[in-house]
């Protein structure tokens, strides 16, 4: 199959391109040509080489005229879009659909769900979606909802052959976000981990290779057209358990975890100044997605979490940028604040209740 991957240069998109090439699809990648050359500061830079036979075209989708011209003159049977963030991104595809397009797969996000209206866990694909209005503070989530809505309308009105994939937190080698590495660095440097709240809220994670597998799965399934699928792992775990597992893999027997009331982060001096100072996950609500639909329709088998984290850590040991120093300044400010107030979260209310907040 002739497949166009939009993005495909850094994380899940890179794994996707490698998987498609391995399955002997004819693959073209369109991106700006920047991500494969750049690396986040905590990773040693490397020159990435696409698999043999993959054609690469550098273009910016924000240049709508150029991007539309490329789409109109193409004959791709499938498009997998790893970087459609807004409704206009999707509109460009809908208005310039290549002749003979059989499938369009969009990467969305689990954050489209409305946590205020959730009643049952794990979260199925039919769960309520959050606001698409100006009242939504998280613009990323709002814009993804609008993009999804445009695709669903196109499917209902014209039969546009779309599928939406909603990943939870993605982890794995080449993650450009400072998430699992946030914990690896602290464990490797024998630093305490400052955890806002009780650490008892349950969230789930999906391995990057599994996301790639799920993005490719709709191409071989007629029943996927018009459908939405969660991309999730083998099950949820608390942040406390998450840290314990990472510590075991790193080789730290008793990680020092200091719980604190997240309300103190409202203090001006304790507000993160950079993204890499921030605690990388939600700590005040459950996020547990159902994988039942993907299992039923695709035969999906997620990578065990322990296996995925071990692979990720082994990769990070090789690729960690040892010339880069993690910024622990906010940790130190929180420590001093807690010492000054003589308070910790030892008596923080544990919350394993899956009912709505």
Q: What is the pLDDT of residues 277-314, one digit of tens each?
A: 999 999 989 999 999 999 999 999 999 999 999 999 99
> Which residues partner with 30 through β-bridges?
6, 57
Lowest model confidence (mean pLDDT) among 28-37, 73-82, 224-233, 251-260: 28-37
Residue 34 has pLDDT above 80, yes or no: no
Of 36 and 306, the one with more pLDDT: 306
Alpha-carbon gap, residue 33 to 29, rounded angstroms: 10
Q: Span 212-220, mean pLDDT?
A: 98
* Number of Cα atoms under 13 Å in the Cβ half of residue 243: 27
CB burial string 303-321: b at 16+ within 10 A, e below = bebeebbebbbeebeeebe
Q: Given this model, what pLDDT does residue 357 score?
A: 35
Alpha-carbon gap, residue 193 to 186, rounded angstroms: 7
Q: Span 191-210, mean pLDDT?
A: 97
Residue 162 has pLDDT above 60, yes or no: yes
Residue 348 has pLDDT above 50, yes or no: no
Confidence of residue 47 (pLDDT cuts 50, 70, 90): confident
Alpha-carbon gap, residue 300 to 232, rounded angstroms: 10
Q: Span 168-193, mean pLDDT?
A: 97
For the chain, percent of residues with pLDDT exceeding 90: 81
Where does 2-176+203-236+286-305 sit in CATH, by number?
Answer: 3.40.50.720
Q: Given this model, what pLDDT does residue 39 score?
A: 85
Alpha-carbon gap, residue 9 to 27, rounded angstroms: 13
Q: Given this model, what pLDDT does residue 353 score?
A: 41
Torsional class of 210: left (φ above 0), alpha (ψ -120 to 50), beta (otherwise): alpha
Contact 67, 95 (CB under 8 A): no
Q: Given this model, what pLDDT does residue 210 score?
A: 99
**DSSP string over 246-274:** HHHHHT-SS--EEEE-GGGGGSGGGS-SS
Q: What is the pTM of this model?
A: 0.93
Residue 350 has pLDDT above 60, yes or no: no
Measured CA to CA in angstroms, residue 204 lies from 187, 308, 326, 330 at distances of 21, 13, 25, 26
Of 119 and 169, the one with more pLDDT: 169
Of 45 and 328, the one with more pLDDT: 328
Q: Span 333-346, mean pLDDT?
A: 81
Q: Given this model, what pLDDT does residue 345 score?
A: 54
Domain ranges of the chain: 2-176+203-236+286-305
Measured at the CA of 249, the angle between CA 179 and CA 40, to 5 degrees, comes to 30
Confidence of residue 355 (pLDDT cuts 50, 70, 90): very low
Whose CA is closest to 248, among 199, 299, 187, 189?
Answer: 187
Q: Given this model, what pLDDT does residue 138 score?
A: 85
Enumerate helices (H) and strands (E) in the chain, giving the number of each: 10, 13
Q: Span 245-270, mean pLDDT?
A: 95
Whose CA is closest to 309, among 247, 219, 354?
Answer: 247
Tell me 173's DSSP state. T
Q: Given this model, what pLDDT does residue 247 score?
A: 98
Whose CA is closest to 27, among 7, 60, 53?
Answer: 53
Q: Given this model, what pLDDT does residue 352 score?
A: 40
């Amino acid at each position: 199959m002739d497949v166009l991957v939009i993005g495909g240069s850094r994380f899940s998109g890179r794994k996707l391109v490698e998987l498609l090439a391995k399955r002997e699809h004819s693959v073209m990648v369109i991106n700006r040509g920047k991500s494969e050359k750049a690396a986040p500061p905590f990773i040693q830079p490397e020159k990435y080489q696409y698999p043999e036979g993959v054609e690469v075209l550098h273009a910016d989708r924000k240049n709508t005229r150029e991007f539309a011209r490329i789409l109109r003159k193409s004959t791709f049977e499938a498009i997998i879009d790893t970087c459609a963030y807004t409704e206009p991104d999707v509109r460009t595809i809908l208005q310039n659909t290549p002749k003979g397009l059989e499938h369009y797969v969009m990467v969305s996000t689990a954050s489209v769900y409305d946590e205020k209206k959730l009643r049952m866990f794990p979260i199925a694909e039919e769960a309520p979606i959050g606001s698409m209005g100006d009242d939504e503070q998280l613009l990323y989530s709002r814009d993804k909802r609008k993009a999804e809505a445009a695709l669903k309308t196109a499917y209902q009105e014209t039969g546009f052959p779309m599928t939406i994939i909603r990943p939870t937190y993605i982890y794995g080698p080449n993650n450009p976000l400072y998430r699992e590495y946030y914990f690896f660095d602290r464990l490797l440097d024998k630093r305490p981990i400052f955890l806002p709240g009780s650490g008892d809220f349950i969230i789930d994670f999906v391995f990057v290779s599994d996301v790639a597998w799920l993005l490719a799965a709709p191409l071989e399934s007629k029943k996927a057209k018009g459908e939405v699928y969660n991309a999730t792992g083998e099950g949820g775990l608390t942040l406390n358990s998450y840290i314990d597992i990472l510590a075991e893999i790193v080789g730290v027997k008793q990680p020092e975890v200091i719980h604190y009331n997240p309300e103190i982060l409202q203090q001006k001096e304790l507000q993160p100044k950079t993204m890499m100072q921030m605690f990388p996950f939600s700590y005040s609500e459950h996020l547990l997605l159902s994988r039942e639909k993907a299992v039923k329709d695709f035969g999906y088998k997620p990578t065990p979490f322990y296996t995925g984290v071990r692979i990720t850590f082994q990769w990070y040991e090789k690729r960690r940028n040892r010339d880069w120093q993690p910024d622990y300044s906010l940790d130190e400010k929180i420590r001093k604040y807690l010492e000054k107030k003589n308070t910790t979260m030892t008596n923080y209310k544990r919350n394993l209740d899956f009912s709505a907040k």
